[in-house]
Amino acid sequence: MVRLDGTAEGLVRRGGEEYTAAEEPLELRIGGQPFTVTMRTPGDDFDLVAGHLVSEGVLATPHDVVRMKFCSADNGCSSTAYVDGDASLAFADGDPLNIVDVTLAPDIALPEDRLRRSSYVTSACGVCGKTSIDAVHATMRWPVTEDDAKVSAQTLFTLPDRMRDAQKVFAKTGGLHAAALFTPEGELLCLREDVGRHNAVDKVLGWALRTDRLPLRGHVLAVSGRASFELVQKALAAGIPMLTAVSAPSSLAVTLAADSGLTLVGFLRGRTANVYCGAERIV
């Protein structure tokens, strides 16, 4: 690696080492059938898979999952598995295999058209635009309109720094998004990092599923980048009433949040923020 420095007189070239964020594909299979592929940062892969299925409206409790296994391309599976809905089971990371096969509980139905869909999810935007607002409302298990959680503005202002302080990989690479789950009092419960902002959120939701915390009523989901339509949809899928972002929301994200009763906060930096909807939850 060569670093260019134009701040001094003339151009200086310096050699050195640089950490970069890992990015690899992960294929999700359900019952051995391809479901989707996402580009992600390896680690917390079972959380990622579980959270993605929460976002899709498939899973609601840890007992909805019988087993998760890492597999190779020739269908050989490792012994590293999440078995029989045991939410206390330790999840292994760092497995070199980039396929996770999920066995759902017998009473969990997965529409066949989803199994036939072999979609490709990028680390940049996930499944952008595939879900309409009406479809989100139709699949919401835990509407947030009646969630009367209150969060102080002073607590909100502390969330970005608390999230940044917990981003261990970002501190080395500068190349990862983060999603963090907080209590209304500002206690950090879970933080996950990933090259994809939607993956970071899914990892948080997967952690919540396997620890049997869904729905996440009264909680705050904070993200390190912008607030897209998809991130609002994921918050709603987990019953989270408030989403905060360091950067801007999209217009469709604001529309979905307002229509669904979610509090959406953007440009949360320092001691300033924009509250786009749901300001009644901030005191």
**For 193, phi and psi rounded to 5 degrees?**
-120, 150
Signed CA dihedral, 85, 87, 92, 98: sign only: positive
| Beta bridge pairs of residue 179 | 192, 223
* Angle, vertex CA 183, rays to CA 182 and CA 185, nearest 5: 115
> 10 Å Cβ neighbour count for 211?
14
Are 131 and 121 in contact by the 8 Å Cβ rule? The answer is no
Structure tokens at 120: 């490709």
Furthest C-alpha separation in the chain: 69
* Angle, vertex CA 40, rays to CA 37 and CA 42, nearest 5: 115
**For 210, phi and psi rounded to 5 degrees?**
-70, -20
Are 243 and 254 in contact by the 8 Å Cβ rule? The answer is no
Are 37 and 27 in contact by the 8 Å Cβ rule? The answer is yes
Structure tokens at 62: 């840890």
DSSP 122: B
Question: Is 71 considered catalytic here?
Answer: no
Signed CA dihedral, 179, 182, 187, 189: sign only: negative
Which one of 125, 128, 190, 277 is the catalytic residue?
125
Q: In what order do the strands lie in the sheet with 220-223?
A: 188-194, 177-182, 220-223, 242-245, 263-269, 272-277
Q: Annotated active-site positions, please?
A: 125
